[in-house]
């Protein structure tokens, strides 16, 4: 399951620990929300859909056991993981009998939490061939090449701007390969903090580090006899690149804390939105790893260079959004089609998806017309966005522009959240433009760590915002 679309509810009465867990999940790219006890969690569950609940057991006034029973009475399938102190292990065993998905023993390291989340989530449904929209001759050639490449086991490097559909190309390769009966595995190298990425990739044994109470297979093992997507491979730190190269050369992996060699039979596909040759020249990416991964390069052109796809994609995205809300699928009116074809789509398919979702909400007639389309621009807010609070906060420090998980501030956060996010977006883009795309300059200018900036940029790309490159 894609991290950016996975919603996690973390229930913990210790405020500091709750914030730490929320930060850990957010840094790994998950959409994490907090609750201070069982009752607050149930209130959250009433109003929102979540993919996973992680809850402490010892809480007042409603503890984890009572919360679990309430959740199970309403939803038999929602994964619920309980956290317990070592001396309360019997309580965790009892919770498993009551329907808990799993348990975590406190204290545990952040790597343990992140590495286990995918195991707790239900498997994502396999995408259908109909998901591929390739009407334009340019994109048709890309997907024809992907189907031909699928017949071999050669490593593939998929390049292209953020949001062009590189993961769809990966799924096409897997679907047409002799590994199609196995579930493909994906890992976003930009979404997982550097100190966790090695454990998530290669796995670890019990006791390999503090908090590793259970052995856990890595993504390579999980992808055995299948395909592994290394998404945004250019964001991987150099030290880990060397270890990855050895695994690819030897076709073998060792879990952290183990001397046991595991032979691998995995098809490797990598993606990047950067020019990897320049990254190699700049010393940020290993040349030997580049050639190991770039056996079969596939470039996915931006949406503005395959305009024949715009309207078919827009209609397909409308249908998908309408199906989620059980709505009737509207058609695109002439004025809407003209505007869609005239737009440059700097955020590519992600941006188009956002525009279609907004249009589905705003339209009132039988068809979607031009007045229902709301576009984002690199230097400004949405036309309908509220400018009031953001305009008055130009001097606010970066630390004030994060969403609050404190329930006492919930109402304030809801009223200010959209404006603060817009202001934050402008500050980030302004710092990048001033530094001519330099991430290091922007992070120093904003007073945040490079890792935090990288996380925020990933969120902006997911929202369809074009991020300046160096």
C-alpha to C-alpha distance for 384 and 362, rounded to whole angstroms:
11
CATH number, domain of 365, equals: 1.10.8.60
Residues 212 and 343 in one domain: no
Q: 157 and 26, same structural domain?
A: no
Among 79, 99, 120, the domain boundary falls at 120
What sign for the dihedral angle of Cα 263, 265, 271, 276?
positive
Taking the CA atoms of the chain, what radius of gyration do you get in angstroms?
23
The Cα 141–Cα 336 span in angstroms is 28
The CA distance from 202 to 265, in Å, is 14
> What is the CATH number for 98?
3.40.50.2300
The answer to whether residue 469 sits within a structural domain is no
- Is there a single domain that holds both residue 199 and residue 222? yes
Q: How many residues comprise the chain?
A: 470
Give SS3 for 98: coil
Domain encompassing residue 429? 388-462
pLDDT of 65-90, one tens digit each?
A: 899 999 988 887 889 999 887 656 67
The backbone torsions φ and ψ at residue 184, rounded to the nearest 5 degrees and listed phi first, read -70, 150
Does the residue 366 lie in any domain? yes
**For helices 334-342 and 310-324, what crossing angle results, to 10°?**
120
Residues 38/63, Cβ–Cβ less than 8 Å = yes
Question: Does some domain include residue 253?
Answer: yes
> Shortest CA distance to 174 belongs to which of 186, 191, 192?
186
Are 54 and 158 within one domain?
no
Residues 140, 219: one domain? yes
Note whether residue 383 is domain-resident: no
- Alpha helix (H) ranges present in 363-387? none
Contacts of 412 (CB under 8 A, 6+ apart): 404
Q: Looking at the structure, tell me whether residues 294 and 151 fall in a common domain.
A: yes
Q: What's residue 377's pLDDT?
A: 58
Q: What confidence score (pLDDT) does residue 89 get?
A: 64
User: Is 316 in the same domain as 426?
Assistant: no
Shared domain for 158 and 278, answered yes or no, is yes
248 — alpha (psi -120 to 50), left (phi > 0) or beta?
Answer: alpha
Domain termination site, one of 65, 97, 120: 120
Nearest to 4 by CA among 353, 297, 401: 353
Domain boundary among 372, 407, 427: 372
- Helix, strand, or coil (residue 103): strand
Is 262 among the domain residues? yes
Asked if residue 380 belongs to a domain, the reply is: no
Q: What does each of the 470 residues of the chain score in pLDDT, given as a tens digit? A: 455 468 899 999 999 889 889 988 888 878 899 999 999 999 999 877 899 999 998 888 898 889 999 998 888 788 999 988 765 667 767 778 888 888 888 888 877 888 788 788 876 544 444 468 899 999 999 999 999 999 999 999 999 999 999 999 999 999 999 999 999 999 999 888 888 899 999 999 988 887 778 889 999 999 999 999 999 999 999 999 999 999 999 999 999 999 999 999 999 999 999 999 999 999 999 999 999 999 999 999 999 999 999 999 999 999 888 887 767 889 999 999 999 999 999 999 999 999 999 999 888 888 899 999 998 754 444 444 333 222 222 333 333 333 333 333 344 333 334 555 666 777 888 888 888 888 888 887 777 777 778 878 877 887 778 888 76
Same domain, 297 and 327: no
Per-residue pLDDT tens digits for 238-296: 999 999 999 999 999 999 999 999 999 999 999 999 999 999 999 999 999 999 999 99
Note whether 138 and 94 are same-domain residues: no
Let me know whether 73 and 96 are in one domain: yes
Residue 468 lies in a domain: no
pLDDT tens per residue across span 172-207 = 999 999 999 999 999 999 888 888 899 999 999 988
Domain count for the chain = 4
Peptide bond preceding 107: is omega within 30 degrees of 0, i.e. cis?
Answer: yes
User: Considering the domain boundaries, does residue 458 fall inside one?
Assistant: yes
Residues 160 and 293 in one domain: yes
**pTM beyond 0.85, yes or no:** no
H or E segment to which residue 332 belongs: strand 331-332
């Amino acid at each position: 399951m894609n991290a950016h679309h996975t919603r996690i509810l973390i229930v913990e009465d210790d405020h500091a620990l709750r914030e730490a867990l929320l930060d850990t999940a957010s840094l790994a790219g998950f959409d994490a929300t907090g609750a201070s006890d069982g009752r607050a969690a149930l209130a959250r569950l009433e109003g929102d859909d979540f993919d996973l609940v992680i809850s402490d057991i010892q809480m007042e006034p409603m503890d984890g056991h009572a919360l679990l029973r309430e959740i199970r009475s309403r939803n038999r399938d929602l994964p619920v993981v309980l956290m317990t102190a070592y001396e309360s292990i019997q309580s965790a065993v009892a919770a498993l009998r009551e329907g808990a998905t799993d348990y975590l023993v406190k204290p545990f390291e952040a790597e343990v939490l992140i590495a286990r989340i995918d195991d707790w989530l239900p498997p994502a449904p396999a995408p259908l061939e109909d998901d591929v929209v390739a009407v334009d001759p340019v994109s048709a050639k890309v997907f024809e090449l992907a189907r031909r490449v699928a017949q071999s086991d050669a490593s593939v490097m998929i390049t292209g701007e953020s949001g062009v559909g590189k993961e769809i190309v990966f799924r096409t390769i897997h679907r047409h390969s002799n590994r199609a009966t196995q579930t493909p595995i994906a890992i976003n190298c930009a979404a997982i903090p550097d100190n966790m990425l090695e454990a998530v990739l290669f796995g670890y044994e019990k006791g390999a580090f503090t908090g590793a109470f259970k052995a856990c297979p890595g993504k390579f093992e999980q992808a055995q006899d299948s395909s592994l997507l290394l998404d945004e491979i250019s964001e991987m730190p150099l030290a880990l690149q060397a270890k990855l190269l050895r695994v690819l050369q030897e076709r073998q992996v060792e879990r952290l804390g183990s001397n046991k060699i595991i032979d691998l039979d995995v098809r490797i596909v990598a993606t990047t939105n950067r020019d990897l040759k320049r990254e190699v020249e700049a010393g940020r990416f290993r040349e030997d790893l580049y050639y190991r991964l770039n056996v079969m390069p596939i470039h996915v052109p931006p949406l503005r260079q395959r305009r024949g796809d715009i309207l078919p994609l827009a209609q397909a995205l409308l249908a998908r959004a309408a199906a989620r809300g059980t709505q009737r699928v509207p058609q695109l009116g002439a004025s809407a089609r003209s505007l869609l074809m005239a737009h440059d789509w700097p955020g590519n398919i992600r941006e188009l998806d956002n525009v279609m979702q907004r249009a589905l909400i705003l339209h009132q007639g039988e068809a979607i017309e031009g007045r229902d389309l709301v576009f984002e621009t690199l230097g400004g807010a949405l036309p309908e966005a509220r400018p009031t609070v953001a305009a008055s906060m130009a001097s606010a420090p970066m630390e004030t522009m994060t969403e609050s998980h404190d329930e006492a501030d919930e109402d304030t956060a809801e009223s200010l959240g959209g404006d603060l996010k817009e202001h934050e977006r402008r500050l980030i883009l302004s710092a990048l433009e001033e530094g001519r795309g330099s991430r290091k300059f922007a992070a120093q200018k904003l007073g945040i760590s490079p890792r935090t900036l990288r996380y925020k940029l990933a969120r902006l790309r997911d929202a369809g915002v074009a991020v300046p490159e160096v």
